[in-house]
Amino acid sequence: DVNAASYDDCSDIDLTIRLTEVNGVAVSPFDPLNQFQECHTLTCDQLGTVEIELRVVDDANGDGIYNPLVDNVNFCWLDVLVEDKTAPICIPPAPVTVSCADLAQDFPQDLNLEVINDPVGTFALLDAQFGAATGLDNCPNPTVTQTVFDDRNSCGVGTIQRGFTVTDAEGFTSPPNCSQLITVIGIHDYTIVFPGDEENDQCIDQDYNGVTFEENGCDLIAISTTIDTFTATADECYKVRVVYEVINWCEYNTIDDAYVIPRDADGDNILDMDTTVLYVN
C-alpha cells in the first residue's frame, strides 16, 4: 500500500516501513514497537494523519542479504489518513416479564416524568433492575444512551419500552431498534380491616375507628364513609350507623354488584370484633 514503483538497477530490493509522525507528533525511532518492518498495525489511538517512512535496501554486495548498514539504502515518505468508518453495535438486555409486586416499593409510578426530573438516577435504576445495554465498537469506549416510554396504567400494569443508542468517538451511531420490552403483569394482594361495634355510656362523641387496609399488589383502594345519627328511643343518648364503601379501582369492573360484608361476618354474634378481608390473586 505504501510502495508505488521502487526499484534498483542491479538487484532485487527489500521494502520495510515505520511510523515517523502521528498527527504532527514525532514517533521515536528508538521505540522497539516502531522499527522498520514489513507491516505496522494502525490503531484507534492513531486516527488522523500518520506519516509513513518507506525504506528501500538493495543487495549491493550480492550476498543475498539486504543490510542497510552495508548495502545501498533510500527513503521516501507518505501521509496516510486513518479513519474510523465502522458503526458501533448495540446489544440490548433481554425482554423481561415481572409482576407489579416484583418491583421495589419505591419504584417510580411514572417513569416518563421521573426521567425529566432525574435522568441519570432513573436510567441507573433501570440498568440495575432490568439490565444494561452493551456497546461494541472497533474503537474503545463507545457511549451508550437510552430513552424510556412508560405505558403502565395507574395500577402499575402495562409495558415499559427502553431504547438504546451506541455512539462512538467519530459520531457514528448503532442501527435503530435496539430496545428492551418490560411487561408488568397485575396481581391483587390486599388486606382490609373493618372495625367492630363500639359503645360508650358517657354520652360523648366517639372516636370512631375507620377502615384500614394494606396494599401488597397492583391495587388502588379508596374508601368512602356515610354516617347516620339516630335519636335515642330509650336510655341511649343516640346511635350512630357508619357505612363504609370500599372500592379497588384496579379490580372494579363497573358491572358486578358490590360484595356486602355484614357486621357479624363470621356469625358468632360478637359484634365488637374487627372483620378482616384478605384477598390474594
| Global pTM value | 0.71
Range in 15-24, 208-217, 219-228 with the lowest mean pLDDT: 208-217
**Proportion of the chain above pLDDT 70, given as a percent:** 97
Q: Give the Cβ contact number of residue 104 at 10 Å.
A: 9
Tell me which residue has cell 402495562: 158
- How far apart (Å, rounded) are the C-alpha atoms in residues 107 and 129? 10
Q: Give the Cβ contact number of residue 47 at 10 Å.
A: 17
Tell me which residue has cell 354488584: 257
Cβ–Cβ under 8 Å, residues 193 and 212: yes
**Proportion of the chain above pLDDT 90, given as a percent:** 64
- How far apart (Å, rounded) are the C-alpha atoms in residues 250 and 215? 11
Cβ–Cβ under 8 Å, residues 223 and 198: no
Q: Does residue 111 register a pLDDT over 80?
A: yes
- How far apart (Å, rounded) are the C-alpha atoms in residues 63 and 58? 11
Grid coordinates belonging to 201? 355510656
Phi, psi at residue 36, to the nearest 5°? -65, 125
- How far apart (Å, rounded) are the C-alpha atoms in residues 212 and 113? 30
3-state secondary structure of 129: helix
pLDDT for 207 equals 66
Grid coordinates belonging to 205? 362523641
pLDDT digits (tens, 9 = 90+) for 158-182: 999 999 999 999 999 999 999 999 9
Cβ–Cβ under 8 Å, residues 194 and 228: no
- Span 114-128, average pLDDT: 95
- How far apart (Å, rounded) are the C-alpha atoms in residues 54 and 77? 6
pLDDT digits (tens, 9 = 90+) for 223-242: 999 988 887 766 767 888 88
Tell me which residue has cell 330509650: 234
Amino acid, single-letter form, for residue 198: E
